Amino acid sequence: MIAIFFIADRFLKFLANGKLANISFKLINDIFTFNFSANYFIAFSLPLHGPWLNLIIGLIILILIHFLIKAIKNKEKIITAGLSLILTGAISNLIDRLLFGYVIDYLYLKYFTIFNLADVYISVGAILIIISLYKKPGR
């Protein structure tokens, strides 16, 4: 499943950065559109960028892999799923940063932000981990 998610995001980024780079089309009226955008910053376009950011993201990915291995060994299914989603999104976005110097965003939600599937994976993964932490015994 994770491989399919990764391939879907990479494929949409390929389209957004290639043949559809100068084309915008509506997915849901004017509210939700497919529109290429180069994001040189991090989440929600916070102004952090450059080689240090790539290094920090790489280190965070290594730390998350460590926790994923632990979660797999402990048979923590929800945390494993959450970390897998976060890693899938983080690695896909890091690939963009290393190849292009920016993250390829392509989904524009009016009045909110522009993002990509990798960002959705990271967000859903974080929500799963938070839910899992609150479901632990004694909470």
Whole-model pTM: value is 0.87
Cα separation of 105 and 100, whole Å?
12
Is residue 96 within 8 A of residue 102, CB to CB? The reply is yes
pLDDT in tens, the chain (139 residues): 889 999 999 999 999 988 777 778 888 888 898 888 888 877 666 677 777 888 888 999 999 999 999 999 999 999 999 999 999 999 999 999 999 999 999 999 998 888 999 999 999 999 999 999 887 665 5
The strands making up 32-39's β-sheet, listed across from edge to edge, are 24-28, 32-39, 103-109, 113-115
Give me the residue spans of the domains in the chain: 2-135
Active site residues per annotation: 105, 119
